[in-house]
C-alpha cells in the first residue's frame, strides 16, 4: 500500500509518520484491495485535524477527525474508516442472494 502523508503548515515528525503508517496499514487487513492512502494533517487554532482518503479497486473512503492531540486524531480517524470499511463489506460481500431459478414459492 502506498501511503502519502502531508502536513499543511506543519512538519511531520518521524515518530508521527511511523505511527500513522502503522495505523493505516492495520486498515488494510479489513479490505486487502486498498492500494492508496492520502493523509493530510494540519492545526487550526487548538484543534489537531487529520484527513484521510483511502482508495483502491473502485472504492474510496474519506474521513476527517479533530482532537486536542494529533495521535488521538489519528486513532479516531482509523476507527471511523474501519467502521466505513466494515459497513461496505457487509453491504457488498456478505449479502447472500438466491439465484432466481432456486426460489422457493410457498403455497
**Percent of the chain at pLDDT exceeding 70:** 87
Average pLDDT, rounded, for the chain: 90
User: CB of 24 within 8 A of CB of 39?
Assistant: yes
Task: Give backbone dihedrals phi and psi of 72, rounded to 5 degrees, phi first.
Answer: -70, -30
Task: Give backbone dihedrals phi and psi of 31, rounded to 5 degrees, phi first.
Answer: -145, 95
pLDDT at 21 over 70: yes
**More confident of the two residues 96 and 53:** 53
Gap between the Cα atoms of 15 and 20, Å rounded:
9
pLDDT at 26 over 70: yes
**Percent of the chain at pLDDT exceeding 90:** 71
In this prediction, residue 55 has a pLDDT band, given cuts at 50, 70 and 90, of: very high
- Which pLDDT score, from 0 to 100, does residue 101 have? 63
Gap between the Cα atoms of 65 and 60, Å rounded:
17
User: CB of 22 within 8 A of CB of 45?
Assistant: no
Gap between the Cα atoms of 26 and 22, Å rounded:
7
- Which pLDDT score, from 0 to 100, does residue 50 have? 97
Gap between the Cα atoms of 42 and 61, Å rounded:
19
Task: Give backbone dihedrals phi and psi of 102, rounded to 5 degrees, phi first.
Answer: -105, 10
pTM of the model: 0.83
- Which pLDDT score, from 0 to 100, does residue 96 have? 66
Amino acid at each position: 500500500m502506498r501511503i502519502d502523508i502531508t502536513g499543511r503548515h506543519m512538519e511531520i515528525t518521524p515518530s508521527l509518520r511511523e505511527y500513522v503508517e502503522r495505523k493505516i496499514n492495520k486498515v488494510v487487513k479489513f479490505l486487502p484491495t486498498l492500494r492508496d492512502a492520502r493523509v493530510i494533517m494540519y492545526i487550526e487554532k487548538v484543534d489537531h485535524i487529520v484527513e484521510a482518503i483511502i482508495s483502491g479497486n473502485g472504492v474510496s473512503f474519506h474521513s476527517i477527525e479533530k482532537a486536542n492531540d494529533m495521535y488521538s486524531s489519528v486513532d479516531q480517524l482509523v476507527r471511523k474508516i474501519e467502521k466505513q470499511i466494515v459497513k461496505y463489506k457487509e453491504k457488498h460481500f456478505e449479502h447472500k442472494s438466491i439465484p432466481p431459478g432456486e426460489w422457493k414459492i410457498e403455497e
